[in-house]
Amino acid sequence: MKKVCVLGLGYIGLPTALVLVDAHFLVIGFDVDVERVARLCAYDPVIQEPEVGERLLQALSSGRLIPTTTIQSADFYIIAVPTPFKEEKKADLSYVMNAAQQVASVLKAGETVIIESTIPVGATQQVADYLQAKTGLRAGTDFFVAHCPERVLPGNIFHELIANDRIIGGINEVSTQAAKHLYKAFVKGDLYLTSAASAEMVKLVENSSRDVQIAFAHQVAAMAQSAGLDPYEVIELANKHPRVKLLRPSCGVGGHCIAVDPWFLVEGFPKSTQLLKAARQINDNRPQEVLAVIRQRIDEWYQYNTGMCRIALFGATYKADVDDIRESPALHIIKHVYSWRDVAPIVIEPHLETTKLESFIGVSGMMHRDSVLLGHADLMVLLVAHSAFKQIPFKQFDSKQVIDFCGLLHQAKQKSSDNEYQFWPANRADEQQFVSNDQQSCNNSKECT
């Protein structure tokens, strides 16, 4: 039985390890986090992902998954550790190089090292050179090194690990072929064989392309807001063009990939990435635009009301239906709202434990995993389109104001006849204005004059 050592048991490493167990490999799951390893050994997967709990139980029971804090020799090593950026937007390869150091301590001739972490162009060769210097073995001859970037969507990881096409790029052809043998054992999608540098750039280009598309959606949202229009309706209509497919705007871009990876290209190719840099700046600025709108609505509320404005903030993770808060724009917005002295905020986040969320924000006593306090809020701010929120009847709260920054309330228009959709009158972004409770009751009463 071939042995695989997966370094890093997080959102990518753990599911990869579990898929490899199903493919009949013996998997050493290595992580430097003692608590994480202990929880995994106690059948706690740590991360939220469909099927992960059951798969972990089966893998541990089979004896083919061994979580450990001690590195072990293996036929294949998969490095799946974070690659954040530093304050100056430079790639932080310390996690990757620390993993390489661990591998170097046990690496033997004939073994293959695969980097799945997203890395700048040239980093795979850098790791290969480091391993060669540390071990005295020849990279590409005695041992093999390749880059095979992950391409999975949180919430559907196990399916995509198997079904998606994969790009495998080695430091030389024999390294590419060596890595191919591992992925051929469990990937049903096509395998595209190339060089390490090409694989590195492809991954970065994929995520940067999404970032640019999202930036355009955010620009559309800003323009529509200025014109008093509903950006989601504008985009829905624009997408009726057969060759247009705009994305939906949100409160910003987060996560471990799209908010980070474009900077790796900007760092490596500063003269050729003006568009990527502009897109990053637009998306980084989006939370500030959202905060400005929230601030404006709060000030409007105080024109008609007294007391403390109570704000319900829906969602804190970086995207819908995950528990991941890395680079989360929603969390950034929430922290700022909590710094305002004239509001009473409440966070509703079904995917995070209350104590964990409170520790991220630095306050206590005002976090909730459900919408139990919904009726007490004066202002509802929708930041993340969790599926759980779609069941909440926001439109029934006529005396409240709901601000939708994630398209949660937008429903695509249905045909009113065989070939007709009714978009008249157009929805307006500022359709519902703040009024006092007394004025709202008066406006809804036939007796008012």
Domains of the chain, CATH where assigned: 3-189 (3.40.50.720), 209-443 (3.40.50.720)
Unique residue bearing structure tokens 């050179």: 129
The pLDDT profile of the chain, 449 residues, written as one tens digit per residue, is 899 999 999 999 999 999 999 999 999 999 999 999 999 999 999 988 999 999 999 999 999 999 999 999 999 999 999 998 887 889 999 999 999 999 999 999 999 999 999 999 999 999 999 999 999 999 999 999 999 999 888 889 999 999 999 999 999 999 999 999 999 999 999 999 999 999 999 999 999 999 999 999 999 999 998 898 999 999 999 999 999 999 999 999 998 888 899 999 999 999 999 999 999 999 999 999 999 999 999 999 999 988 999 999 999 999 999 888 888 999 999 999 999 999 999 898 888 887 777 777 776 545 554 554 566 788 999 999 999 888 888 776 666 788 999 998 887 777 666 665 656 555 655 544 444 444 443 333 333 32
Give the active site residue among 180, 203, 319, 400.
203
Structure tokens at 408: 């949660």
Distance of CA 260 to CAs 199, 256, 317, 443, Å?
A: 17, 6, 16, 48
- CA end-to-end span of the chain, whole Å? 83
| CA distances from residue 330 to 54, 260, 326 in whole angstroms, order as listed | 30, 16, 10
Q: Is 2 a catalytic residue?
A: no
Residue 7: closest CA among 63, 56, 70: 70
Q: Which helix (H) or strand (E) holds 5?
A: strand 3-7
Q: What is the CA radius of gyration of the chain?
A: 25
Give the whole-angstrom CA distance, residue 40 versus residue 440: 54
Q: Among this protein's residues, is 406 annotated catalytic?
A: no
pTM for the complete prediction?
0.84
Amino acid identity at 353: E
Question: Which secondary structure element, helix H or strand E, spans residue 347, and what is its range?
Answer: strand 343-348
One DSSP character per residue, 375-390 reads GG-SEEEE-S--GGGG
* Full DSSP string of 201-225: HHHHHHHHHHHHHHHHHHHHHHHHH
Where do the DSSP E strands lie in 8-156? Answer: 26-30, 65-68, 76-79, 112-115, 144-147
From the list 5, 257, 309, 406, the catalytic residue is 257
Distance between CA atoms of residues 206 and 185, nearest Å: 25
